[in-house]
Amino acid sequence: MGTEGIKLIGMDVKLLINELNKALADEWLAYYQYWVGSKIAVGVMRTSVVEELEEHAKEEKEHADMLADRIVQLGGTPVIDPTKWIALTNCGYETPSDPSTIVLLEQNIKGEQCAIRTYRKILDMVQGKDSITFNMIRKIMQDEVDHEDELEAIMDDIEKMKEQLSRS
């Protein structure tokens, strides 16, 4: 990054790059979890679930783009070895070994909740120290909040459907 730009950052840049790389690993794992889930999903409300998983996969990939661009701007290198994703991740990877939509939704809701907590921590870390990263993380966190909300809304629909079926 330019010398004047780097002066704007009131914290250890290496530490910041490390946090952003950990988040980058999370995003790729989240992308894959959604993407593969959308391919194998079976069961209740499959069409809506697949649509939502595909949409989220696309947005996690956009988050990865934003994080990687900022890492490069800060003079760092985005993690170049996928085998490092598991070592770096904050939120891990839930293998969708049961492809039923309800299980996929539960796993992905857990992932989103972890993502929200992780970005909350990064926001606290950069607040007042790097406004460019702060604004970027705030935008990403907003998407993760929407993701959790959207998945929970489908879960609610499924619960209501079950109730209706049990009454009929």
Identified binder of Fe ion from the candidate list 19, 52, 130, 144, rule CB under 5 A: 144
Shortest distance in whole angstroms from residue 4 CB to Fe ion = 30
Identified binder of Fe ion from the candidate list 17, 49, 53, 63, rule CB under 5 A: 63
Q: List binders of Fe ion among 81-140 (CB under 5 A).
A: none
Our CB check for Fe ion shows the closer of 61 and 129 to be: 61
Shortest distance in whole angstroms from residue 142 CB to Fe ion = 10
Our CB check for Fe ion shows the closer of 16 and 115 to be: 115
Query: First CA to last CA across the chain, in angstroms?
Result: 64
Contacts of residue 11, defined as CB under 8 A and 6 or more positions apart, other chains included, come to: 125, 126, 129, 130
The count of chain residues that interact with Fe ion, using the rule CB under 5 A, is: 5
Q: If binding is defined by CB under 5 A, does position 147 make contact with Fe ion?
A: yes
Our CB check for Fe ion shows the closer of 27 and 130 to be: 27
Q: List binders of Fe ion among 18-37 (CB under 5 A).
A: 27
Q: If binding is defined by CB under 5 A, does position 60 make contact with Fe ion?
A: yes
CA dihedral sign of residues 110, 112, 115, 116: negative
- Residues forming the site for Fe ion (CB under 5 A): 27, 60, 63, 144, 147
